[in-house]
Amino acid sequence: MGWPWPSGGMSLSSTTDEIQIRPFRWDDVAPLVDVMHRAGTHPFEYADNPLETFKLSLETPRLDPTRDILVADSGARLEGWVRVDIEPGTSRAIVGLGVDPDLDAVAMRPRLLRMARDLAIEYGMNTLHVPVDATDNEARMTVGSIGMRAVRVYHGMEYHPAPAYLGGNHRPVPDGYSVRTMTNDEEDIERLMNVQNTAFEGSWGYEANTIPDIEASLRLPGQGPEWVKMVDNSAGETAGYVWTKFEPSDGMSIGYIGMVGVHPGYRRLGLGSVITAAGVKLLRDSGAGVIKLEVDRDNKAARRVYKDLGFSRTGETTWYELDLSAG
């Protein structure tokens, strides 16, 4: 696959001091984390070894960092980055990018995004997606510069749980069902993959997961099997799950409800509320001072469950889309 720029990098205009845009190298891990920190993101800051954990997060089945991540290199340090996640099953590419706040972001961001778009076209994708926080005016200007349009909105929600000794939210498990913690054996990994893919089949933007995908995510700190709760029926069939994430801190530890799924054959039994409450309890009992999640604005059933459990809306993310198939 040929690159859409010379192998030595592509020089930008003088407004960005002729910064070179080039493919990521594995010796860029520390400089990339550094520019992410300067840009206001802090990948795996809570981990015992943030650099090694970030490197581990790049070692996933679908991502080739030396192909899918580009960095803006001034020669002295990295000044920005763009990452292109390819999803062949949905024929889309998801883009995330950032630049040093002292850089001319108005000049750099659109260039990074255009290069990501060109890569997505070269990979044969039909759609480009970029999530943008509602408060990020620069990002909205950037996606608008290449003609992207808003297509989906997600609400950010938070819950501040009561201390564990006060009990907190609980939902009774229906007769014939039980909630348990996931194990790390092959059978449970396959169970998680199957119930997740079935629960989200046909959902907007969902790419079916594989066993290697699941295993790669479970290897990351704070989101291993001990952070997954499953609800089974009396026959031992998994009807639903909640996959949480925990970020410990000397200050306020943060918990996340990452994904909640119920098999279509077991819906309308209250299992979504039961398994979400189990995830909330797990995170609260582990010391989370706040629990966060994102939910599709159009998913009214899920929003009702979260609101009933005490979550309130705190923010909004809009997904922008560009049709690449039109040429």
pTM equals 0.90
Selection from 54, 13, 10 nearest residue 35 by Cα = 54
Model confidence over 100-144: pLDDT tens digits?
A: 998 876 789 999 999 999 999 999 999 999 999 999 998 999 999
Tell me the H-state helices in the chain.
Answer: 29-38, 50-58, 65-68, 105-122, 137-145, 186-200, 211-218, 271-285, 300-308
pLDDT value of residue 163: 60
pLDDT value of residue 298: 94
pLDDT value of residue 250: 83
Element (H, E) at 238: strand 238-247
Cα 312 to the center of its chain, rounded Å: 20
Task: Find out whether 287 and 248 touch, Cβ atoms under 8 Å.
Answer: yes
**Strand 92-99 to 127-133 pairing:** parallel
Selection from 39, 46, 48 nearest residue 254 by Cα = 46
pLDDT value of residue 13: 36
Q: Domains in the chain, start-ordered, CATH in brackets?
A: 10-147 (3.40.630.30), 157-317 (3.40.630.30)
pLDDT value of residue 169: 58
Selection from 224, 220, 214 nearest residue 53 by Cα = 220
| CA dist., res. 97 & res. 113, Å (int) | 8
pLDDT value of residue 326: 76
Residues of the chain with pLDDT under 50: 1-15, 165-166
